Structure 1
């Protein structure tokens, strides 16, 4: 079933058993023609997309779509789109073999469900961040109000909100490094 062609062919070629440099090259048929047990013509439409070293690719697509449908489909397409079409057919065939009922649609639905769950988790996390920021702002406002109302022996200090409360006088913190007993937690 092996044929002899010139070295300018796009299919897989291997040197023949002869050691002469002018001897013809032996071409291995594409995976599709091997599986279909037919002669691989020089202009075989399947050869560029189903190389002889990857028979599983054609077997998978052949099981789901059939060889004649694959050939018809590829012949109707321009050559620039054929490689993408073969990739799509092989992907769909693999999905259909894994899930005969839903195929790719089942995988798409599952991925969409994951996206929705992750979006819900993200929205919850963003809400928690906003809640924490509001609590921090309320706490700082209460601290500033308390400091303005208490009499101080020393001149007023500048409070830097970005300094993580380092300028708060120690009279507002009890022995356990907690804010005074009048302070209730703002979060639940």
Structure 2
């Protein structure tokens, strides 16, 4: 008693739709991956610049504090006003410079941190797009194996959501998959 199992699909139209779906989603996912990689690099640069900016701000504030303390000590302890006057004048110039420089450095560091946050929204969009499209491709594969059209419809729903999120990332739209990011983040 031999049982012959046919490897041919009964519904070739379904398989063609699955194949087209997988190709479209795979190509779009590849393009999103390239863009997401570039965004991640920009995020790293923005974060590095922000950290450097805050370090420079802290160093400037520390130098200001040291100059102010030095000035106060010299003013109190110097036995000769004539000899201490040039030193005090130099410290006054440094203190004035640090008072101007510190707020500028803080503003720049905050700008870089905000830039990082803006990039992060788009990174999350591409990550969620990748997850949705991967799920769509997996469901499409199962729909071909099970020869079930409704599963292909579910794959298209996930794929459409993934395409939407990827488009948001490419076009700079502010939509953020907050719930998905919260669950996966």
TM-score by structure 1 length? 0.32
Structure possessing the higher relative contact order (Cα contacts under 8 Å, 6 or more residues apart): 2
Larger fraction in strand: 1
> Who wins on radius of gyration, i.e. which is larger?
1
TM-score by structure 2 length? 0.32
Larger fraction in helix: 2
